Structure 1
Amino acid sequence: MSKRLLPPARDSPTKRARSQPRRRRPSDQTSIDSFFKSPSSVVNTASAEPLFPASPSQPRPSQAPILNGKATAPAIIDVDLSSDPEDVQEIPAVIECSTSGPAKPVAVDNSPPQYPTLSVEPTSFVFDTCVWPTTTRAPYSFLAHALCTLSGTRSRIVILNTLTNALRTIVRYDPPSLLPSLYLLSNSFVPQYVQLELGLGPSVISKAIQHVSGITPMALKRLYNQTGDPGDVAFLAKCSIRTLVPHAPLTIQGIYDALLDIAHVKGKGAVSRKQGMVEKLLVAAKGEEIRYLVRTFSQHIRVGATRTSVLTALARALVLTPTATAANSESDSSYTAHTELIAQVRRAIETSSKKGEDKFKAHLLEKFTTAEALLKKVFVQHPNYNDIIAAILETGLDGLAERVPLTVGIPLQPALGSPMRSLDDVYERIGSQPFTAEFKYDGQRVQIHAVKVGDGKHSVNLFSRHLEDMTEKYPDVVYLVHHFFATSQEMSSFIVDAEIVAIDISGDSLKSFQELSNRHRKDVRLHEIKVSVCVYAFDLMYLNGQSLLKKPFRSRRELLRTYFSAVRPDQTGAARFDHVESCESEEGRGAIEEFWSRAVDSRCEGLMIKLLDHGEVLEATRPKTDTSRKQSLPATYEPGKITPENISLVEAKKDYVAGLGDTLDVVPIGAWHGNGRKAQWWSPVLLAIRDTSSDMFVAVCKCMSGFSDSFYRSMKDRYSEDSENCSKLPLWGDVEAGGYSPSVYFRPHEVWEIRGADVTLSPVSVAAKGLVSENRGLSLRFPRFVRIREDKSVEDASSTEFLAGMYREQQGRGMVQGSTDGGQLVDPALTDAELDDDCEEVELD
């Protein structure tokens, strides 16, 4: 533990005089005042230079105190545990307590270890010797070094290089640390579907920082107002505290194990025990370890390492540096780049040999692409790093798909459709290929996993679209599954894709998603259910031990209808089962259009268009001539894909269809303070869409219409200025505000659906910039809030490509006559009173 000189006890003057003389308050408080100033103004008294020099690319402090590339010893500052910010004392030295004599100053080396630059081209990254003692496990400081590099850049190339080189080093020198490294880089510690949380609230983390650093609550709040990030606060609060004895270096495996231990602490006194565990880790942490340890506790490490980036980097690391087992047993593996190939690429780059560089890099790129495709395919079907890394460390990448297959009880990423805005678009893209149109119900998507475990028992798990386990929420659906097993002896296991929809039992009519969301989420009992549901099944991915993902949809649907019949159990409260209502393209376009009209008039969101069989069409981007290439249209189940090329599954929502008002799924990333009646709320709100090429959320428009007063109040609660979801500083690196300058920035974590008049060119927005115009982005005119999409994650937000497609279609129809959006929100034809009325019309769904 840290040894610090505490202030004298606040007893009577007489008692204080007897115990020890009162220390004179220093008249010069420069060192104390500097501690509470902004990070950029903190000065090393020895050199009179900023400890945290300002950087255009890194406005907040992201490094330990460094001057001219060398670590400097921070000034020793003591902040007494006092509620009075002026009642502070200065400590002249760090004191070591001894039982055999007086206290003596000691010098403990707290400088972080030096690591090589990780952002270089992976083929040029040389690590002939381990960067940490080979007798120890991989230190957490190395991972913190990688995280620090990641947080200082938005370049996708630099991010991939950094992740690749960091993982290569760990694979080479400490393979067992690969699994915890992936979890820590992914801002998690268990698979997404496992219900285990750290349970560390902001108050626990704040108290731990106070106890370890000795900083007062008021000073802590002042630091938070300056930085807006708990990790930065902890770094600044503890960087001036020296320990008396060196602590053993924190290891990646040790941090991961500690997180698991914290998450498993339950029962009476759990909060205090968790705080104690956090304090022990903070005491041992040094340098950047402090910052990223606290951010990990907060479950927000603020780096651009998305799941796709981590998987891509892992694949490249294993190609360049295979595991020891794979290197020995699979020297001829198609996934391994031999040392000579890596050297050839490096020499070609160093000598600027364009011909050699292209030749060798193409060969290496081919291996990268093959390995990345394999890892992503395995992960979307089996999103569990524990199983994947165990198989990789055992035998490498070869045969990974067979060793980590689709498994009952482990959810796979759901197949997603590409939005379409008219049936004309559907026929244009699919052509004459047979397809089916299905109702897209307004409910909650569910994966039903079930398997017989013997003795008449069954294991049942229900997973949401985001892979969250919601088995406890739907005991009526679990009862339905048991009914299927009881009535069918031929069925031993299955995975069904379906939609849970609220229904009115008396009239067999559908209810809204809002009514479904009113059900309790935990400890639901069958006889207490008030909102009845029906399970509408639309796909079958697994049956009796066999994966069906590669079978065409026609075959999967036939098996679904054969093994699962419509059911209405007699048990009170039990869920019903039925198949989605559908219409075949063979019935003619007139039948499809009539079916579409029924969907628009019902409580459905639209249609899902699915190819029945594998087919081919001419590429849309090439002239339809005899020499045009054909594009394959597989009717397989494609987990996790939502790309324009994936047209075997098409989402034709009624809000997307021309003439009914286009909608976008957007992410709120900022806001301004309201005026007049809305002064206490956020209005307008800055909205963003996804740029798939950079993994960023790019601002598209401001919105101030469609909100009710109740929604404004709930939004102010979710995005209060003292919460982790709101900051005056742009803390989140995956957000690009473009020409907008909001008063506050929001953490991107929820999806809203909005509707607009049309899409226009904008000199302010950066959304889709370069797709339709070289110097202008796209924006939405007169955007209006529709509802919160609780069923979608931010990864499901509309893409810049989709927005560009909307604009091109409008231009083709002549809906936009060269108009541009200059950032105006208000229709000049509307008065202020009409605008206020307009904002009060729509209640939150």
Structure 2
Amino acid sequence: MASYRVPYSVLCKTFELCENTTKRLEITEYLVSLFVQVIELTPEGLVELLYMCINKLCPDYEGLELGIGESLLMKAIAQSTGRDMKQLKLDYTKCGDLGTVAKNSKSSQRTLFKPKALTVPHVFSTLKDVAQITGQSAQSRKIDKIKGLLVACQENEAKYLIRQLEGKLRIGLAEQTVLSALATSVVLTKDSGKLSKQQKEHDLAIAADTVKSVYNQMPCYDMLVPALLKYPLNQLQEKCTMRPGIPLKPMLAHPTKSLTDVLDRFEGHTFTCEFKYDGERAQIHRLPDGSTMIYSRNSENMSVRYPDVMQKLNKWLKPTTTSFILDCEAVAWDREQKCILPFQVLSTRKRKDVKEEDIKVQVAIFAFDCLYLNGEPLLRKPLQYRREKLREAFTETENEFFYARHMDSNNIEDIQTFLDVSITSNCEGLMVKSYDGEEASYEPSKRSRNWLKVKKDYLGGVGDSMDLVVIGAFYGRGKRTSVYGAFLLACYDPDTEEYQTICKLGTGFSEENLQQLHDSLKDHIIEKPKRFYCLGENPVKPDVWFEPVQVWEVKCADLSVSPRYMAAVGQVDPSKGISLRFPRFIRIRDDKEPEDATSSEQVGSVSF
């Protein structure tokens, strides 16, 4: 059976089942049914299938993306079906889903011969080919590849193929659900069937936790899946461990409103306070062969953005340091004044094709955690141990490399003083962390209460600022007639893959800001809201709609339940969402993708 190749129609039928329900358990069951069949018939095809389910071509750190725009996809649909482009655009305006337009265009098309059925391996390899096409006549070559697939599509395949090419399946298939289904499928295919129902449920829960934990440490299906199929589940942690060159999703902190909250949380526990630096999260990796990489919080390889850091890194290492993974912050740095510069200065630095001799904005690295050192994973070790290892392995270097400044005390006056010092040092505030014991381990991708963040400007207020996506704008009046005067913002729900409206924002902008935002957003105007914009029954309607491309940091005075905004709908009220009161613009978050915006769950968890 090794030659069996999963039909693409089978995958699309599973997608359709998932799209037709909102129940997480049902979606998981559909995936489990599919995965079990694949494991039994063609286990070597499981990795490609998983990538298709999460709509990726490879691990995030490899950086291979389709990046196919709507106009190119419309050309491919028109050319493969013989339809008029003008009519296609009208259909798209009516239904708002290019996948459905492609499906309907195919169903109205008559063919003389039935094409050979598509398979998952063929579609996946073709999508990879499309993503890798560059250079002369790249657009026409991409269209030819896409046309080849579209011509062979049957039933609902064109719908999901176009959505995959767009980069969004929009069927409510979150990666955590895929991981749970993967774990369940492996247990079921290895299970002898003699276990009691209670024991089986226990084993499935343990399996899901194990697979998610291992994936968080080593987010690479190409390595995880073969190990999962080959070894017993209780050996997975040992056989599939973190390593330099594969970035982890960083641990995140919970916001807190007061220093009293900090003391309440850590009462009876040892904790430490560190400066919270206003820069870009960076994870620096060094392999035993000496090669080095720098990754962003989204696992994007940023090595080309920081050639100066790459060149100087060897100066910071002690002779015994051979390999490591370092969690740190890259901040803009004034070498003459020897001080930190604001994030806005760092954001002016080029992101691609950076040459060291052209660099105008210098950076300093502030290291606060060591996750791996000389072949030893340190995630499960307490922060106290990790900090010791960090200081054993590196040397502070003036203007280039520093340890994050810290203070250990449980006296509230000391913490207040240290907070004030952090602000005068051009930092955002403090990170307060568990210091020893089991709670002081490093938890990749989790927003843990073992790390709290305290910022000066929100003590006694709402808490953390929010990172929100711009989905619309209102024409300006008076002085703002030539630009947009206000904007419609949304948070993101990763489970439903929806952008949920949260506020209308019109304050915090300088005239320069407004002109810059107008210029950068005008190329992303769309005729009508996307079908995955959650607007509610009586929505706020902007004058202009945008593609979800920009993330802004926004501060507010309070939150309220609102019938007109849909953020976290169903969490605090069955039909109403949450809105921000008195929001103000802080800055553009160039380091975040729209899917990394504040989630609806985070909005709903903020008490007000």
Q: Same fold (TM over 0.5)?
A: yes
Alpha-carbon offset, residue 658 of structure 1: 1.3
Alpha-carbon offset, residue 216 of structure 1: 2.3
2:184–2:207 Cα contact (<8 Å) kept: yes
1:686/1:663 CA distance change after superposition, 3 Å: farther
- Residue 611 of structure 1 is matched in structure 2 by 434
Counterpart Cα distance in 1 of 2:124 and 2:77: 20
Alpha-carbon offset, residue 750 of structure 1: 4.4
1:672/1:380 CA distance change after superposition, 3 Å: same
- Residue 311 of structure 2 is matched in structure 1 by 479
- Residue 292 of structure 1 is matched in structure 2 by 160
1:671–1:682 Cα contact (<8 Å) kept: no
User: CA offsets per residue over residues 790-843 of structure 1, 9 Å max, x none?
Assistant: 3345565445665566544xxxxxxxxxxxxxxxxxxxxxxxxxxxxxxxxxxx
Alpha-carbon offset, residue 536 of structure 1: 0.5
Alpha-carbon offset, residue 693 of structure 1: 8.4
1:147/1:803 CA distance change after superposition, 3 Å: closer
Aligned length: 606
- Residue 222 of structure 2 is matched in structure 1 by 386
Counterpart Cα distance in 1 of 2:201 and 2:535: 30
Task: Give the SS at the match of 1:752.
Answer: strand
1:528 aligns with 2:352: no
1:189 aligns with 2:57: yes
- Residue 457 of structure 2 is matched in structure 1 by 655
1:308 to 176, 179, 196: 176
1:421/1:749 CA distance change after superposition, 3 Å: farther
Counterpart Cα distance in 1 of 2:93 and 2:535: 22
1:391/1:789 CA distance change after superposition, 3 Å: same
Counterpart Cα distance in 2 of 1:538 and 1:483: 18
1:731 to 531, 540, 546: 531
2:186–2:229 Cα contact (<8 Å) kept: no
Alpha-carbon offset, residue 467 of structure 1: 0.5
Alpha-carbon offset, residue 175 of structure 1: 2.1
Which runs of 5 or more residues in structure 1 are unaligned? 1-132, 328-335, 345-359, 569-574, 615-632, 809-845
2:345–2:361 Cα contact (<8 Å) kept: yes
- Residue 130 of structure 2 is matched in structure 1 by 262
Counterpart Cα distance in 2 of 1:770 and 1:452: 50
1:419–1:656 Cα contact (<8 Å) kept: no
2:53–2:173 Cα contact (<8 Å) kept: yes
1:740 aligns with 2:557: no
1:665 aligns with 2:466: yes
Alpha-carbon offset, residue 718 of structure 1: 5.8
Task: Give the SS at the match of 2:365.
Answer: strand
1:760/1:245 CA distance change after superposition, 3 Å: closer
Counterpart Cα distance in 1 of 2:591 and 2:230: 38
Task: Give the SS at the match of 1:442.
Answer: coil
- The higher relative CO (CA closer than 8 Å, separation ≥ 6) is in 2
2:570–2:577 Cα contact (<8 Å) kept: yes
Alpha-carbon offset, residue 386 of structure 1: 0.8
Counterpart Cα distance in 2 of 1:695 and 1:654: 33
1:668–1:746 Cα contact (<8 Å) kept: no
1:68-83 maps to which residues of 2 (within 5 A)?
none
- Residue 92 of structure 2 is matched in structure 1 by 224
- Residue 754 of structure 1 is matched in structure 2 by 554
Alpha-carbon offset, residue 148 of structure 1: 2.1
2:418 to 589, 592, 595: 595
Alpha-carbon offset, residue 600 of structure 1: 2.7
2:571–2:604 Cα contact (<8 Å) kept: yes
- Residue 580 of structure 1 is matched in structure 2 by 404
Counterpart Cα distance in 2 of 1:770 and 1:704: 27
Alpha-carbon offset, residue 562 of structure 1: 1.8
1:635-714 maps to which residues of 2 (within 5 A)?
635-642=440-447, 646-658=448-460, 662-668=463-469, 670-671=471-472, 673-674=474-475, 676=477, 684-689=486-491, 698-708=500-510, 711-712=513-514
Q: Which has the larger radius of gyration?
A: 1
1:492/1:224 CA distance change after superposition, 3 Å: same
2:172–2:495 Cα contact (<8 Å) kept: no
Residue 408 of structure 2 aligns with an amino acid whose one-letter code is E
- Residue 233 of structure 1 is matched in structure 2 by 101
User: CA offsets per residue over residues 319-377 of structure 1, 9 Å max, x none?
Assistant: 33x2xxxx3xxxxxxxx4x4355xx8xxxxxxxxxxxxxxx3x4443222111111111
1:719/1:727 CA distance change after superposition, 3 Å: farther
Structure 2-normalised TM-score?
A: 0.91
Task: Give the SS at the match of 2:331.
Answer: strand
Residue 603 of structure 1 aligns with an amino acid whose one-letter code is N
Counterpart Cα distance in 2 of 1:291 and 1:717: 33
2:529–2:546 Cα contact (<8 Å) kept: no
1:432 aligns with 2:268: yes
Counterpart Cα distance in 2 of 1:205 and 1:591: 59
Counterpart Cα distance in 1 of 2:32 and 2:549: 27
Counterpart Cα distance in 1 of 2:390 and 2:3: 56
2:474–2:487 Cα contact (<8 Å) kept: no
1:337-348 maps to which residues of 2 (within 5 A)?
338-339=192-193
Alpha-carbon offset, residue 773 of structure 1: 6.3
Residue 476 of structure 1 aligns with an amino acid whose one-letter code is D
Alpha-carbon offset, residue 749 of structure 1: 5.4
Task: Give the SS at the match of 1:462.
Answer: strand
Structure 1-normalised TM-score?
A: 0.67
1:412/1:750 CA distance change after superposition, 3 Å: same
Residue 468 of structure 2 aligns with an amino acid whose one-letter code is V
Counterpart Cα distance in 1 of 2:555 and 2:13: 44
Counterpart Cα distance in 2 of 1:212 and 1:145: 23
1:42-61 maps to which residues of 2 (within 5 A)?
none
2:491–2:499 Cα contact (<8 Å) kept: yes
Residue 443 of structure 2 aligns with an amino acid whose one-letter code is E
1:205 aligns with 2:73: yes
- Residue 27 of structure 1 is matched in structure 2 by none
2:238 to 402, 424, 428: 402
Task: Give the SS at the match of 2:281.
Answer: strand
Percent identical pairs in the alignment equals 35
Deviates more, 1:748-757 or 1:384-393: 748-757
User: CA offsets per residue over residues 188-222 of structure 1, 9 Å max, x none?
Assistant: 11110102233544443232222211122222222
1:154/1:683 CA distance change after superposition, 3 Å: farther
Larger relative helix fraction: 2
- Residue 71 of structure 1 is matched in structure 2 by none
- Residue 779 of structure 1 is matched in structure 2 by 579
Alpha-carbon offset, residue 740 of structure 1: 2.8
Counterpart Cα distance in 2 of 1:206 and 1:600: 51
Residue 40 of structure 2 aligns with an amino acid whose one-letter code is R
1:182/1:711 CA distance change after superposition, 3 Å: farther
Counterpart Cα distance in 2 of 1:473 and 1:373: 35
Alpha-carbon offset, residue 540 of structure 1: 0.3
2:471–2:490 Cα contact (<8 Å) kept: no
Alpha-carbon offset, residue 241 of structure 1: 1.8
Counterpart Cα distance in 1 of 2:40 and 2:513: 53
Counterpart Cα distance in 2 of 1:697 and 1:229: 15
Residue 250 of structure 2 aligns with an amino acid whose one-letter code is P
- Residue 448 of structure 1 is matched in structure 2 by 284
1:199/1:795 CA distance change after superposition, 3 Å: closer
1:158/1:712 CA distance change after superposition, 3 Å: farther
1:561 to 383, 391, 408: 391
Alpha-carbon offset, residue 394 of structure 1: 2.7
